Amino acid sequence: MNKKWLALALFTTPPAMADDLIQWWDMSITAIHGDNYDLAPSEKQTTFTFETAGAWRYGDWFAFQDLVYFNGDNAGKDSTTYGEISARFSAGKITGNNIELGPITDLSLALTLEEGEGPVKSFLYGLGMDINIPYFSYFNLNTYRREALSSDNISDGWQVTPAFRMDFPVGNSNIVFDGFFDWVFSTDDANYEKNFHFNPQLKYDLGAVILGEHKKNKLFIGIEYDYWKNKYGVKGIDQSTYSVLAKYHF
């Protein structure tokens, strides 16, 4: 399948399956525009991100596909793609027992496939944890072993990825602070540098204001901050940039 449409294929959930297997699911599209991306200090880019997330009888999933358009010359390319498919298999759901270890409310087998143009395809596997932290709507922590699948990919090693969300009611609306960070803290190849990628978003629920309370959690506007230390595992290549965004949940 053309990887540009990989995430779109995941968005179709037959109603019969939803009744029997799917507990909840969501899909959205986000438009993001900013500059100072990639290796060119003045590079502007526009990204359309298709996302789906949900929970099912045995765990949960999250997937996204980025379609990135460069508003300038980026190594002779005008666009690229990148995506990830993540699935977690919950010990609590599979065994039917509550998993409670202090603030940890569940343990999972966490799997992720990274794909895109260039030597980026990798398979990640490890331990996922759901953690109950005050003021967080959710906080998940996955610890992965990275295994490269594409040639010339030297990113094998270990990675920690927390994902989080916080909600702040404002009148009849809501402000959402959510995001993730990827910390590749141990690598097998000395030529691939340890790196840290932090990507939070601050969003205002505009749909609840202009479309009514029945349209809460539909239309968001806001900003995204993207910080990447040793981007692509290249020592000394650091990215720090803000972008504006609009996001719609279907």
72: helix, strand or coil: strand
pLDDT value of position 213: 76
What is the pLDDT of the chain when averaged over all its residues?
Answer: 89
| DSSP letter (8 states) at residue 154 | -
123-180 residue pLDDT tens? 999 999 999 999 999 999 999 999 999 989 999 999 999 999 999 999 889 999 999 9
DSSP string, 165-198: EEEEEETTEEEEEEEEEEEEEEESSTTS--EEEE
On the question of pLDDT at 91 being above 60, the answer is yes
* Pairing verdict, β 44-56 and 59-74: antiparallel
| Spatial CA neighbour of 48 closest among 73, 74, 79 | 79
Residue with structure tokens 């500059």? 35
Give this prediction's pTM: 0.87
Q: Give the whole-angstrom CA distance, residue 3 versus residue 97.
A: 38
- Comparing C-alpha atoms, which of 138, 145, 157 is closest to residue 111? 145
What pLDDT, in 10s, does the model give residues 218-244? 999 999 999 999 999 999 999 999 999
Q: Give the burial class of 109: count Cβ atoms within 10 A of its Cβ; 0-12 exposed, 13-18 middle, 19 or more buried.
A: middle
Give the three-class secondary structure for 120.
coil
What's the pLDDT at 72? 63
Q: 83 pLDDT exceeds 80? A: yes
User: What band does 35 get if pLDDT is binned at 50, 70 and 90?
Assistant: confident
* pLDDT the model gives residue 211: 83
pLDDT of residue 7: 41
| CA angle 142–243–155, rounded 5-degree value | 40
Structure tokens at 99: 């998993």
Strands 138-148 and 157-170: antiparallel
pLDDT for residue 8: 42
